[in-house]
Amino acid sequence: MVKLQLPNPGLEDRIPSHAELEVLEKEEADSRPKWDNKAQYMLTCVGFCVGLGNVWRFPYLCQSHGGGAFMIPFLILLVLEGIPLLYLEFAIGQRLRKGSVGVWSSIHPTLKGVGIAAMFVSFLVGLYYNTIIAWVMWYFFNSFQEPLPWSTCPLNDNRTGYIEECAKSSPVDYFWYRETLNISTSINDSGSIQWWLLLCLTCAWGVLYVCTIRGIETTGKAVYVTSTLPYLVLTIFLIRGLTLKGSTNGIVYLFTPNVTELANPVTWLDAGAQVFYSFSLAFGGLISFSSYNSVHNNCEKDALIISVVNGFTSIYAATVIYSIIGFRATERYDDCFDKNILTLMNAFDLPEGNVTQENFEQMQRLCNMTDPMTFATLKFESCDLESFLNDGVEGTGLAFIVFTEAITKMPISPLWSILFFIMLFCLGLSSMFGNMEGVLVPLQDLKIIPPKVPKELVTGLICVGCYFLAFIFVLNSGNYWLALFDGFAGSIPLLIIAFCEMFAVVYIYGIDRFNKDIEFMIGHKPNIFWQITWRVISPLIMLVIFFFYFVVKVNEELLYSIWDPSYEDFPKTQKAEYPNWVYAIIVILAGVPSLSVPGFAIYKAIRNCCQKKNDQKGLMSSTSETSVNGNLKNSA
């Protein structure tokens, strides 16, 4: 077993002993927030971990990487990478009773950059995440209509037909790209602020402020609704989905593994990245949440329960989503067939009902034999259920295009729309609680905000600052900016932070000390599984993922999707290269958090070096002189 530990002078002075820890807990009982009960803590952690990514990113990755085959690397990496790091974050937060900045600076002063990096990531992700909640609110407000506004195309100015952009694409595409985003054709074309989205953004940050106004004292009450309601809505959708025609086609497609995908390194890379997203690891919020627990709380049991809930939620949500996608694909397949049947019936003047899906090919052959010349002029669409099922859309498109289209085909569609967007709102809001905690607590630990300033005012200032910065996402080019943030703010920085966290605990804090801490807190030492994963397997997996991710991204041409009605293949989105100035933004988004870790360590080393030189100069400049009575005296 690896026993390497780097020298760490002064550690005993920076952390409380086990005896001091119990005294400290009693002393902090009135001054430091704490959970009302265990259920409140567990629901908050589940709400932070289980977010929008479980509903739309995980199903998309399953679809992209061979259906059920993707679940194999996901579950393997969840066990070998996700659960050990989750347990480590819970345990170190509970032991040192501080937020992310406080924990890592206590372990070693040069590690304060790890906490600062986590704060930056929480801040950047929170900026765009709450904009998605604003979009959800816009759709929710528009759901109180019959028919739904994205169910049909609007008429043109002459009222003689549909608006051309909508007629060329679809009602759901038009409502999303034009009526919601009013999207421009380039990230260079910023346009103006869309007032309806600005109102929704105001509501989103207002609701978040009310829920986080006093930290866990208020979020702890909100999670009883925000963390449980999504499961109720998912269950309702599953029951409804299973009654729809073709829903089983989607579920079978999801769970049918294409084992050849297991040989693809990108499948494992995406699975490893998804584990980070689905657990909300390295954001700092989980460390803060666990620090409010009792010293003797069983953090190992908590980590295992939350891991099982998280993994189950990803698979359960994917099942629900694909039951609806199966229904949507079947509807599109039937519509395609109906057009072909109508084409054949009109050309050969066949009686209605004579041609069905079952006898279509037979009727085609018969018509071809009857009048080959006429049959040769007919144009039939290609109808393949597999291709409709394979027509996946990533991220926001899955919620705002695919799912909304499926909802329009359901009876009482406004009800299902309201339920769906309530679910997304709760998932997003409970995740934002953790992001806010990941920003607020480090700011307090860094002493940037004086302790006398009321918590309500601090939370308000953070929310207002983020609100104004988020204006960039409600411009005409806002969706392009959001995709940029989503792609780079929470990718490489999270891998670097997570690796530093594990390395710091095992090799700087000391794995033997950590084992004794856990034995003191929960009554027994971590078993051999935790020892092997913490010391070797998990850090190694993170290094491999980082290396491959870096290689893939460096060699990949950076493109973004443009919605342009003048594009020759419209309604397909056009792929275009980012303008050169965007690379500077990418460096800020991914570089600033990542470089905070070595940057602060270098700053600390230089500062310590300068202090030592000053101390030596001070010693050298002090001279000894002989006094009148023969004694020595020092004069500086």
Q: Is the pLDDT of residue 628 over 60?
A: no
Q: What is the model's pLDDT at position 634?
A: 43
The amino acid present at 603, given as its one-letter code, is Y
pLDDT digits (tens, 9 = 90+) for 200-254: 999 999 999 999 998 888 898 899 999 999 999 999 999 999 999 999 999 998 8
Whether the Cβ atoms of residue 462 and residue 126 lie closer than 8 Å to each other: no
For residues 92-112, give the mean pLDDT: 94
Chain mean pLDDT for the chain:
89
Q: What is the model's pLDDT at position 3?
A: 59
pLDDT digits (tens, 9 = 90+) for 301-344: 999 999 999 999 999 999 999 898 899 889 889 988 899 999 99
Cis status, amide bond into 351, omega within 30 of 0? no
pLDDT digits (tens, 9 = 90+) for 145-156: 989 999 999 998
Residue of higher predicted confidence among 31 and 535? 535
Whether the Cβ atoms of residue 48 and residue 277 lie closer than 8 Å to each other: no
Q: What is the model's pLDDT at position 91?
A: 97
SS3 458: helix
SS3 155: strand
Q: What is the model's pLDDT at position 636?
A: 37
The CA-atom distances, in angstroms, between 161 and each of 411, 565, 566 are 26, 17, 19
pLDDT digits (tens, 9 = 90+) for 307-317: 999 999 999 99
Whether the Cβ atoms of residue 96 and residue 106 lie closer than 8 Å to each other: yes
Q: What is the model's pLDDT at position 392?
A: 60
The CA-atom distances, in angstroms, between 555 and each of 197, 480, 488, 489, 558 are 36, 22, 15, 19, 9
Cis status, amide bond into 7, omega within 30 of 0? no
For residues 97-102, give the mean pLDDT: 92
Q: What is the model's pLDDT at position 272?
A: 85
pLDDT digits (tens, 9 = 90+) for 357-382: 888 889 889 988 988 888 888 888 88
Instruction: Give burial (CB, 10 Å; 0-12/13-18/19+) of 98.
Output: buried
- The DSSP letter of residue 265 is H
Residue of higher predicted confidence among 362 and 571? 362
pLDDT digits (tens, 9 = 90+) for 449-494: 888 888 899 999 999 999 999 999 999 999 999 999 988 887 789 9
Q: Which residues contact 113 (CB under 8 A, 6 or more apart)?
A: 104, 596, 597, 598, 599, 600, 601
pLDDT category at 355 given cuts 50, 70, 90 is confident
pLDDT category at 573 given cuts 50, 70, 90 is confident
Written as six digits, the tokens of 201 are 């953004």
Residue of higher predicted confidence among 616 and 382? 382
The CA-atom distances, in angstroms, between 527 and each of 371, 509, 530, 541 are 78, 19, 6, 20
Written as six digits, the tokens of 12 are 């005993």
Written as six digits, the tokens of 452 are 């006398």
